[in-house]
Structure 1
Amino acid sequence: MYEEILKASTRIAGRIHTTPVQTSAAADAWAGKQLFFKCENFQKTGSFKARGALNAVLKAKDENPKLKGVVTHSSGNHGQALAWAARQAQLQCTVVVPEGSPLVKCNAIQSYGAELIYCAPNPQARAAAAEKIVSESAFLFVPPYDHHDVIAGQGTIATEFLSQVPDLDAILVPISGGGMTSGIAVAAKNIRPETKVFAVEPEGKDLQASLMAEQRLWKGEPKFLDTIADGIRLQQVGHLTFPLLCKYAESTVFSVSDEEMVSAMKFIWQRMKVVVEVSSSAGLAAAVSPRMKEVMPELKKIGVILCGGNVDIDKLPW
């Protein structure tokens, strides 16, 4: 997989932004550690998702020059990214979004030229709607996280981050399906094995139990968590991402509440002057939590992924 991440870096180079790393003395004082914020909220389409979507689309078109279009289901950020990537590759795109998705994200998807299809707000409805479109149109399905080329694209965050700050002790990554976390973990462990990669989840995901058991302990069908962080509300991680997480990420997982994420989001807006969505604030919420100091007191230099900035400014969580 690491070789695929290096190929993805070359494939998408020049089409995406090299996102900056920001620091904050106030954040360092709050956390009691040195924090380095990787600003993927400044990435194309406003989130890290552009990396994986573009890598998957460009590779698919190289392998099949006759490809006409792509389709996906997404709560917003991957949909925007795939719509943008499809336009870069001159392909058609259809995106299935659950009812109630943030309007700012839906409008952005359409602005990139994609067709928008709404479905019931659950993972099963999303998957069924996308499958129907694939069968009727022969478009290629590009899932939001459980796809090797998407994972490889997201892994380029770590190759870039560790070139900017080579001696990070750890990286905190907000997790939903696990594409970004697994990609970053694979790359980080190959570049600097001593760098620890921790997933940060909304309360109720219970990823740590599965990682420690090295088996999927979730029962029933996938579902959305009851959280305002719409970008990381999927309870179960993917079937491709899970074994990568078991092998490369830490089994310790940081769970954060909606209140903790909103507090961290306010801090990033007010003190750092950076616009992020709720999901993006999960890493900072974990970095300043008492559990971080208890579990890993020796960690000094912490990378924090600000994964996206697609927030509806007319509906702020405060």
Structure 2
Amino acid sequence: MNGFSLNNLSLFDNLTNKEIKIVSDFLIEKNYSNEEKIFIKGKARTKLVIIKDGLVKLNTDIADHQETIAMFRSGDFLGEMAFLEKNSLHQHTLIVASPNLTTLELSIYHWFTIQKKYPEIAQKIYHNIAINLKKRLDHSNNKLVTLFAGGKIIALYDNMNEISKHLTEIILKVIPVKYALFCTVSSINSKASVQYALGYKINIGANFDLLNDTFLAKIIENKKTKIFNKSDWSKEHLKLPYISNSLLITPINLGKKTLGLIILGDKLSGRDFSANNQILLDALATQIAPAIEEHRLNALQSSSEDLKRVYIDPFYRPEGDHPLGGNS
């Protein structure tokens, strides 16, 4: 299947093979289809779910829509709060995010049996659950801190280069990488303009011609974040100035328009980019898109006023700007 083994699960760290075998006798294998709901917000917590094969997404309500806050894959487990809080309710909805999903599930009823008959095993599992919850909380906090800081930066700066620089620095605190680019995109001249660069031999103000750079053009056309690894590159791709061993590219979309691109290359840890990295950048891109559009419109208005003043009407003054504060 995918090399899945109970012995490799963090849930069973420090359990002997014999103890893992005891717990496995209580697990029930289940199969789900794409978009099927495993947990539903507001419903009672009744089981712990171990993902054997496939993907799931954890959704939560934000304003008037649902947003994915995390993705989980083979080897991850969820629903452990059922064992920590009696009669508690799910706070989020868990949905299948792959064509098929196979799980191993441990009901509350069977957990109580393990607690009663094998208290030492239960104690070890409780310890592993606590460690996992801490890691998951760190991820959630990373996302919240990034979004909060991103909003603050947008409010503080008017210059696009400054906004780009500081937003990228925030991203790098959560996803440390060797290479990063922050670009704005113009549909008028079909170019992506570099506002900030890290690690690459690319100057701020440099442009990528989207008519020739079909790689970035495809990202903009699809309007979706993509993760690429070394095996995805063709000989033509290797000539591109921003190519690295692994790449995460997020378009900054507002409606049908793509306003910019966030490009990250090669995590310092050496690991591949994860689905949770993708979710974080998607959320940040959604937040900053209106600010980039506002900055673009302000720049256009300023250019228009300069044009009127210098080339069309030497006596032109922007609305509200009258000599001696008088009214015309």
TM-score range normalised by the length of the shorter chain: under 0.3
Higher relative contact order (CA 8 A, sep 6+): 1
TM-score relative to the length of structure 2: 0.23
TM-score relative to the length of structure 1: 0.23
> Larger strand proportion, structure 1 or 2?
2
Structure exhibiting the larger radius of gyration computed from Cα positions: 2
